[in-house]
Amino acid sequence: MINDYSQRLVVQEVAPRDGLQIEPIWVATADKIALIDQLSLAGFSRIEAGSFVSPKAIPALRDGEQVFHGIARQPGVTYVALIPNLKGAQRALVAKADELNLVLSASQSHNRANMRMTREQSLAGFTEVLELARGTSVSLNGTIATTFGCPFEGAIDERVVMDLVDAYQRLGMQGVTLADTTGMANPRQVYALVRRVLEQLPAEALTLHFHNTRGLGLSNVLAAYEAGARRFDASLGGLGGCPFAPGASGNICTEDLVNLCEEMGIPTGIDLPRLLDLSRTLPALLGHEMPGQVAKAGRNADLHPLPPGLG
């Protein structure tokens, strides 16, 4: 366990994709573009800007091409697209995504529910995507959903996860994401698995994706950071969840994570006041309150005046 908190924690903002995919109202393409453009100015180096899945499966993100073509790209920002298959990859390349994020599940049951195929079939399909991307500047990341537990099967054997990490490496993926799809992870479990994975992967190639479904999201981030992980997905306002995973409410909240880092002296490069201002616009955009805490309570540094007569 480390006690040096000076190493940068990289936050990949996923609200434009994972955050919006289960919203019941349609968010206009122009509003999606405006959100991404504001995030691009807040200090993020990585933004998951959309996905190229079937519009029948995820109608909320059916405008992926328009979004990627419409954003004002900032130097030093990687714009990521989630893709399910070769057709999605073809669309994402035309839309000039910088990175393709492919997903399968450690759980066979969840993979069938999410992808309508087995893990082995998913991996076979990824080979076609690798061939398509070969010779381009586009990087590839492989996500392992339900790494820490499955809502259908329960606990996941670590050996299955390690085999999938190895399979991604053999395919030629530049990065791997371990995803706690329904918020079943705990800090002790996270620390042990991250240490094990980092024996096989460099820290810069590993991303952790946690949900706050059971209130352990930021605790799991800290456990992973102390184990050596340096990159984490988070969603503005705490938006999001998986439509194919029962109970998968709530990605970890970006501004809450950045606030934690600021309080502990962990650098992120993200402008927290700007982020809070942006998060506070979400209720008007989406028609409901956000689960994030710091946008409501304010930072520790946001002090209040004494009551009248006590000043």
Helices (H), the chain: 29-40, 64-70, 86-94, 108-115, 119-133, 158-171, 187-197, 217-227, 254-264, 272-279, 282-286, 294-297
Distance CA 162, CA 89 (A): 25
Count of all residues that appear for the chain in the document:
311
Which residues have CB under 8 Å from 162's CB, separation 6+?
Answer: 196, 197, 200
Q: Is 253 annotated in the active site?
A: no
Which residues have CB under 8 Å from 123's CB, separation 6+?
Answer: 104, 167, 171
- The residue among 48, 53, 61 whose CA lies nearest residue 20 is 61
Eight-state DSSP code of residue 173:
-
Token pair belonging to 263: 């309080």
Which residues have CB under 8 Å from 85's CB, separation 6+?
Answer: 125, 129
Which residues have CB under 8 Å from 111's CB, separation 6+?
Answer: 104, 105, 117, 118, 119, 122, 145
State the catalytic residue, choosing from 150, 242, 253, 261: 242
DSSP string, 179-246: E-TTS---HHHHHHHHHHHTTTS-GGGEEEE-B-TTS-HHHHHHHHHHHT--EEEEBGGG--B-TTST
Token pair belonging to 202: 């460099």
List 47's β-bridge partners, or say none. Answer: 13, 79
Catalytic residues: 242
